[in-house]
A and B are shown apart, each in its own frame.
Chain A
Amino acid sequence: MAGAGPGPALPGASRKTGGGAPRGRGGDARCSAPGARLRRRPLLSPGPGDGAALVPGAARRCAPPAALGSARRGPAGRRRRLPQTRRLRCPPPPAPAPRRRAAPAPPLMGGETAVSSSAVRAGTAPARPRGALPAPCPHPPASPRTLPAAPSPARTRQRAPSACCLQSVPPPSRSRPARCRYGPAGSRGDAAGSSGRSRPRRPPPAPLGHGGRPPNALGTAPGAAGKRGRGRGRGRRRAPGCPGRAPGSDRGSRQGERGGGGRGPGGGGAGAGTGAVPGLSRGPGAGKPRPRAERSAPAMTVGGPRGGHPRLQMPCLSKMERMIVSMQDPDMGIKMRNQRLLITVIPHAMTGNDIVEWLIQKYGISEEESLHLGNLIVKHGYIYPLKDPRSLTLRADESPYRFQTPYFWTSTKWPATELDYAIYLAKKNIRKQGDLIEHEKDNYNLLHKRINHTWDFVVMQAREQLRAAKQRRKGDRIVIDCQEQAYWLVNRPPPGAPSVLEQGPERRNCHTSRVQLAKNMDYYKREIEYCRKAMARTRVKSSICLEGYIKFNEQYVPHDPIMSGCLPSNPWITDDTTYWAMNAPTVLTPTKLRVERWGFDFSELLTDPLGRAQLLEFLKKEFSAENLSFWEACEELRYGEQSRIAEIVDSIYQQFLAPGATRWVNIDSKTMERTLEGIKTPHRYVMDDAQMHIYMLMKKDSYPRFLKSELYRNLLAEAVIPPETKKRVFPFMRKQRHSSPSPALLLPAGDAEDKIKGATAVPEES
C-alpha cells in the first residue's frame, strides 16, 4: 500500500494492498479488519432490504471515487438482499458504538470478494475524492430506525443528514474523521490502518488549515462533515505519519495532487500534497474560513445560499425534517412499497396520494392544505418525484415519490459547490451526449471557464461515476439519478423558477450581529434603569387584560366590515363605492355606526375628522373651543417640521398661553409654570404637559357632556342606516370601476401649511 501513488489505477491497487487494512481510527476505527467491516456493513446498512441492492457494486471493480458513497454503504450487500430480520436488528446508526465490536460479528456476508473489495472500500469510502457526490447512499434517507424519532433540530442538523450515509462513518467520538467533509481523514485512517495504527499528529500550523477540509463537500459523510466540517486538522491528526499508508488510495491521486484532499499522496510526507495548494478547488469559499456552522443559530437566514457560503439554517427546514422523519416512522409513517416506473420496480417508494393522505391524517388539515404542504416539501427537495423528476411538484395521484437521502437534504451545511455542480453537469453531458437543457448548457460552459484548472478532474469524476452507475441495477440508477437531480434542482434552480432557498438580504442574529452594543457603564446603567422601571411597573392580571379584549371586541365587531359585513355593501366585493362615499371624511349625514363609534372613546371622536368638527362645534357652544384648538396646535408642534418649532411654539404662546391671549387656555398654575419655563428653550415636546392636561380635561369633562348633549343625540337620531344594496339582477354585468381623485390632487403640494392641516386632520390610522 505504501507506494500506492495517486493514479486512477489506484482503486485496484489499493484493493489488493489495503485488503487487510482496517480503517484506521479514522475511517472505521471500530472494525479492525476489513472483513469484519464488510460483514458488519450489511447490518448497519439502513437501507431498505433492497437497499443493499441499491448499493452499487461499483466498488467492486474499481473503487472509482464515484462509488465511494455507495461503497461505503454496503459493499457486502451488493447484489444481495438482506433478510428483513437482519436489518431490523441492526442498531441505529447514531449509536455507533457497537460497531467497534463489529469484528466478531458473524460473517454475514463475509465471503464474496470481500477482501479485495473491502480493501478498496476501506480505502475508498472514507476518502471520497471530491466529486464523489453522486454516489451517496441511495437508500431512503432515514430508514426509520436510522433517525431519532424526533430529533431536536440541532440534532437533526448534525446527524440526520448523513444518518444514512453515515453508517459507515465512524462514531463521532473518537474517530473524528467524519468531520472532515472530505473524509480524507478517514482514508487516512485507513491508510494508517494498514500499518496497524495511526499516530495522532499535531497538524502543522501550515496551510492545511482548511486543507483539512477536503475540497469536495460531497466527498464524505457529508452531513457530519459539513457541520463539523472544519475540524481542520482533524483528519490530519489522524493522518498517519507512517510512510506505509496508502496515501489516499482512491482518494487519490488527483485529489492529493490538487491539494484538495489535503493529506498529500506522499506516504510519509503528510503535509506534502496538502500544503501545496491549500483549498484549491474548494470552490469560491475556498480560502476563507467559514463561520462555524454550529454557531449559527437556526434562526439565521442568509442571503447567498450559493457559493462557498455555508447555508445557514432556515428554521423551517429543521421542522420540515422532523416532519420527514415522522413520515418515515415504521409504524406511524407513510407505508412504503415498491412502485413500478414503467418496467422498473422502485423499492421503498410511495405515491403522491399516500403523502397527501398521511398529512391529512397526521395534522388534521384539509386536502388542499395538505397538498400544498406536501408540495412545499417536494419543492424543498425532501421528497422527489420518480416520474417526471424534472419538476418538483407533488401530484395527488399514483405517481411515485421517494424520500430524499439525508445526504442531499437541503439543510446540509455544506454548500453546493461549483465543483460538484460541474461534475454533475459533466456527467449529464456525457450521458446525454451534449444534449443539455439550455440553462444547464450555459452553466456548463460557464463552469468550464471558471474552474478550468480542475476540468480534467471534473471529467474524470464524471466518467468514473458514470461507470460506477452502469454497474448498478436499473432501479438504483434511476433512484440515484433522481436524487441527484432533485438536489440540483433545489440548489441550482433553472432560471425563472423561484428558488426555495432564497432568503432575501442577509440578516444577522445576535451571535453574528454587526450591532455592537458597547457594554460600558452607560449600557449597564441604562439596563438597570430599565429593570428598575420594569420592576416598578404595575402589571395587570392577564385575566383582566383578556376581559379587555373581549369587551373591545364586542364593541367593535359590528364595525368590522370583515367580521360582520358593511352597509350598503363592501366596495371590494360589489364594486360599489357607496360605502366609501357615505363614510367620507366629510359628509353631511354620517352613518349610524359612525356616530355610535364616537361614543366608544374620546380618541375615536378625535380621530374622525367629522367627529372632531362636531366636537368643535359643541365646544364652541360651551365657550371652550380653545381647548381643542390648543390640542391641535400641540399636535402640530409635536409632529411638525423641526425648523418651525420655534415659530409654532411662539404662536401657541401668543394664542393660548400669554396672559390676556385671545384664546387663553385654562391650565393649572403648576403646569403653566413649567410650560412657560420650557418655552424659553423651545423643543418639540415642550407642550407635552399642558397638552396632556388639556386632553384629559376634554376627555373627562367636555366629552361626557358632548355625549349627553342635544347635538350628539340629534346626530345619532339623524344618522342613516344605509339599506343593503340589492343583488344586481345581472350579476355578470360587471360594474364599471371608477377611479377617485387622488388625495395628492386634492391637496396641492407645496403648501406646507395645508399639508400639515391635512395631516393632522387625518391622523395616522391605527
Chain B
Amino acid sequence: MCKSFSCYCPGIQALSEFIPIFICGYIHTPPTLVLPPANPEADFVGLHHRLMFLGLIPTSDITHERKSFQWQSFSARFSNHQLFAVHQVAERVEALGQFVMKTRRTLKGHGNKVLCMDWCKDKRRIVSSSQDGKVIVWDSFTTNKEHAVTMPCTWVMACAYAPSGCAIACGGLDNKCSVYPLTFDKNENMAAKKKSVAMHTNYLSACSFTNSDMQILTASGDGTCALWDVESGQLLQSFHGHGADVLCLDLAPSETGNTFVSGGCDKKAMVWDMRSGQCIQSFETHDSDINSVRYYPSGDAFASGSDDATCRLYDLRADREVAIYSKESIIFGASSVDFSLSGRLLFAGYNDYTINVWDVLKGSRVSILFGHENRVSTLRVSPDGTAFCSGSWDHTLRIWA
C-alpha cells in the first residue's frame, strides 16, 4: 500500500484508485480495519479530497486543503497499521535467559534530586545535575568528584558532556544553557568561564552537543528546540512545531542522518531535519507526556518513555509505532529510556523508583531493578555499553552492570 500513495502523482490515473489502498496487494490489514472505503460516503469524501489534491477541484480555502491532507496522511498511516507487533516477527529469536545486573557504584554527593546526567566519551566520566543547582563531574569509576559548579538557579534539568570531554553544558529554570569549559587549574574559577549559550523563554528541559563541541541542541518548556553556536551564542536554527513543552531530545546516531527526535507534553514525538528546521515525521500514540526519547542504535527507530507508563518503539521507515512495552502492574510513568549497545535491551527508569529492562524484540520484560529510593529521573547507557547509569530523586546516581 505504501506504493499506492507514493505513486500518487497528480494525474488522472490516480483517480482510478479512489478505492484507495485496497486494490493493491500490499495490505496486511484486514479489510475491516481500513476506514476509507467502508461506506460510500467515506468514499466520496476521500475522492473529493483526492480531487482537490490533484487540483481538479479548486480548494475553497487553505484550511480545507489541510484537512484533506490530514485525512490522507492519516489513512495512509492507518492502512499501514497492521495488528502485529515486534515480538510476533521476533518469535524465532531466542528468549533471553536470566539476567543479572547489580549496582556497581553509587555516587553520593548531590544535596538534592538528581535530574539529569550524561556520559563522557571516555566511558567513565559523568556529569550530573540536581535540583539544588549543583552540577558535578564525576569519575564514576572511582566515584570521585572532579568538578562542581553551582548554577544560579534550581532545577538544573539538563546537562551534557561535550564530545571532546573538555566542557559541559547545563541549564534549567534559568531558561539558559550554559557551557563551562573544564579546567584543572585550581586558581581558576569555573563559574568565571561560564558561557551562556542558549536563551529560551521557558525552562531548559534537555540539551545535547552535536558531533562537536561547537554546537549545542536544546529543548525547552517554551515548546521549541533550537540549535546554537556555542562560541557566539547565536541561534542557528529553531524548531517549532510542538504544541506544548518539549521535554527531551536525542540526536540520530548516524552521521549522515542529520536529524534528531524530540518528545513533549503534547504527547508527540517529532523527528526534525536539523538543517531545514522542518519536522519530517511525527508520532502521536502516547496517552501522556513523553519524558524521554532515544534512537535505536541503528538509527532506524526510536524508543520513547511516557507518563502513561508505557514505552514505545517507533520505526522511522515504517512510519509507525511497532512495539509497546507495558505491563499491567506498571502504573507509573517512564521517565527515561535507553538502549543497550546491541539494541536488544531497553532500559527504562520509572517514577515508581524502579528500572525495568525490556526485551526490545520480544516486547516482554526481562528484569526489574530495585535500588533507588525515589523516582528514577535519568538513565543513560555508557558509550561502550558496559554499564548504565541512573540518576534519581533520592539524590544518588547508580551505575549498573
Contacts and interface: CB of A to CB of B under 8 A. Distances in A.
A538 B141 contact: no
B247 A507 contact: yes
B165 A505 contact: no
B385 interface: yes
Interface stretch (A10-18, A154-162, A180-188, A566-574): A566-574
Q: Is the interface of A mostly helix, strand, loop or mixed?
A: helix
Contacts of B295: 766
A545 B341 contact: no
Contacts of B72: 531, 535
B162 to A, nearest CB: 7
Contact of B301 (A301, A545, A641, A643): A545
Interface string A506-546: 01111001110100010011111111111111111111111
Given A372-B352, A737-B142, A764 B163 contact: yes
A373 B164 contact: no
A759 B163 contact: yes
Contacts of A739: 139, 141-142, 144
A515 B205 CA distance: 15
A749 to B, nearest CB: 5
Nearest to B352: A376
B76 interface: yes
B299 A316 contact: no
A661 interface: no
Given A566-B386, A643-B232, A764-B163, A744 B183 contact: yes
B354 interface: yes
B47 to A, nearest CB: 16
A584 to B, nearest CB: 9
Interface in B100-121: 101, 104-105, 115, 119-121
A498 interface: yes
Contacts of B341: 556, 559-563
Interface in A302-355: 314-316, 319-320, 323
Nearest to B193: A749
B253 interface: yes
A635 B256 CA distance: 10
Interface string B195-209: 000000011000001
A747 B144 CA distance: 21
Interface residues of B, number: 144
A561 B342 CA distance: 9
Given A535-B73, A557-B342, A742-B125, A363 B213 contact: no
A601 to B, nearest CB: 9
B255 interface: yes
Contact of A545 (B214, B230, B315, B331): B315
B89 A570 contact: no
A550 B320 CA distance: 18
B317 interface: yes
Contact of A759 (B2, B214, B393, B394): B214
A75 to B, nearest CB: 37
Interface string B362-401: 0000001010011000000101111110000110000101
A235 B266 CA distance: 36
Contacts of B278: 526, 529-530
Nearest to B168: A744
A548 B298 contact: yes
A640 interface: yes
Contacts of B209: 764
Contacts of A535: 5, 8, 69, 72-73, 76
A656 B82 CA distance: 50
B109 to A, nearest CB: 16
Given A320-B331, A532-B69, A744-B166, A684 B236 contact: yes
B27 to A, nearest CB: 10
Contacts of A755: 164, 166, 213
A763 B255 contact: yes
A369 B329 contact: yes
5 contacts: A524-B63, A531-B70, A570-B387, A739-B139, A740-B139
Interface of B: 2-3, 5-6, 8, 26, 28, 62-63, 65-66, 69-70, 72-73, 76-77, 80, 82, 84, 86, 89-90, 93, 101, 104-105, 115, 119-125, 139, 141-142, 144, 146, 155, 157, 162-167, 173, 181-184, 202-203, 209-215, 221-224, 229-232, 234, 236, 240, 242-245, 247, 251, 253-256, 265-267, 275, 278-282, 287-289, 295-301, 307-309, 315, 317-320, 322, 327-329, 331-333, 340-345, 351-354, 360-361, 368, 370, 373-374, 381, 383-388, 393-394, 399, 401
Given A740-B141, A764-B209, 20 more contacts: A301-B289, A316-B351, A316-B352, A319-B331, A498-B393, A507-B244, A515-B243, A544-B317, A549-B360, A553-B344, A560-B385, A561-B386, A562-B385, A572-B105, A572-B401, A603-B256, A636-B212, A641-B230, A643-B231, A765-B163
